[in-house]
Amino acid sequence: MARITVEDCLTKENNRFALVHLAAKRTKQLLQGAKVLTDAARGNKAVVSALREIADGKVRFMSEEEARLAREQESRLALAAGPAAEAAAGGGNGNNVTVEPAGGAEGHLKAPSFDSEDGNSSTQS
C-alpha cells in the first residue's frame, strides 16, 4: 500500500494548520466508530485512514453556507420530531462535527477559525 503524505492532502486543503485540525477531528470520529469512507484504508490506523480520506477528497470542511443549511435542517428535524427527540439527540450540545458523511460520499466538518491575536483555533458554529 502506498504511503500517504502531507503533500497529498495539501492538494485538497491548502492550509497546513487547517489540515491538522481536519485530520485530528476526523481521526477522533473514526476512533469513536465512524465508518471509513475509503476502501484502501481498511486495516490502517485511524490517523492514516483520516489522511487518506482527506487526500481522496472524501472529507473536507463545510463552507459557511453548508454549515448554515445543516443547522437549519437540524432545526427543522428537531421541530418535526418534538422536544423529546431533540433532548435525546443532544440538541444544542455544541457538537459541531458530523460523524456520518453528508451530501453523498463526502464527509463534512465545520471550518475552523484562527484567532489572529493568540493563534488559538476554534470551530465556527
Q: Which domains does the chain have, with CATH numbers?
A: 6-116 (3.90.940.10)
Could you give the CA distance from residue 22 to residue 32 in angstroms, rounded to a whole number?
Answer: 15
- Report residue 82 as a C-alpha cell: 418534538
What's the grid cell of residue 24? 485530528
Q: Would you state the pLDDT for residue 86?
A: 52
pTM beyond 0.95, yes or no: no
Task: Note the pLDDT of residue 81.
Answer: 82
Low-confidence ranges of the chain (pLDDT < 70): 1-2, 40-41, 83-125
